[in-house]
């Protein structure tokens, strides 16, 4: 069991950090007034980021492996459910970069 959890986390690590990065970017651009997601999206991504950042969630982060497994699952689930919003954000960001540069 422990080996399976470790393998899952290692395999999921890069995707997890990419998901956190894009959720963080959406939140930052929303705060700056440059991107306007739905309220539902904003609540979901804020929840996922807080869950990832705070050490006291369902499984405390100081518990080896298991403490990060729940973070990976929550962030992954939210990112998967917001995939269309993430793609819209990336398109909007790309268009902004093209027009400003």
Q: Which residue has the higher pLDDT, 5 or 86?
A: 86
Which residue shows structure tokens 């960001």? 93
Asked whether 47 and 78 are in contact (CB, 8 A), the reply is yes
pLDDT of residue 46: 96
- Between 28 and 63, the higher pLDDT residue: 28
The answer to whether position 47 is within a domain reads: yes
Distance CA 27, CA 101 (A): 23
Answer yes or no: is 43 within a domain.
yes
Name which residue leads in pLDDT, 24 or 10.
24
Q: How far apart are CA 37 and CA 13, in angstroms?
A: 26
Total domains in the fold of the chain = 1
Establish if 89 belongs to a structural domain: no
51 in any annotated domain: yes
Q: Is residue 95 part of a domain?
A: no
- Indicate whether 93 belongs to any domain: no
Q: What is the mean pLDDT of residues 73-96?
A: 92
Show the tokens assigned to 14: 């890069």
Give residue 38's domain range: 9-81
Predicted TM-score (pTM) of the model is 0.79
- Residues in the chain, how many? 101
In a domain, 86, yes or no: no
Torsion of CA 5, 11, 14, 16, to 10 degrees: -40
In this prediction, residue 62 carries a pLDDT of 66
Q: Is 14 within a domain?
A: yes
d(CA 75, CA 5): 16
Question: Cα–Cα distance between 92 and 95 in angstroms, integer?
Answer: 5
């Amino acid at each position: 069991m422990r080996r399976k959890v470790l393998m899952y986390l290692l395999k999921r690590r890069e995707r997890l950090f990419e998901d956190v990065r894009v959720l963080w970017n959406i939140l930052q651009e929303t705060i700056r007034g440059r991107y306007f997601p739905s309220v539902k999206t904003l609540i979901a991504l804020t929840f996922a980021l807080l869950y990832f950042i705070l050490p006291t969630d369902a499984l405390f982060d100081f518990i080896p492996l298991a403490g990060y497994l729940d973070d990976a699952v929550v962030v992954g689930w939210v990112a998967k459910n917001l995939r269309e919003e993430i793609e819209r954000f990336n398109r909007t960001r790309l268009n902004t970069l093209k027009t400003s540069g």
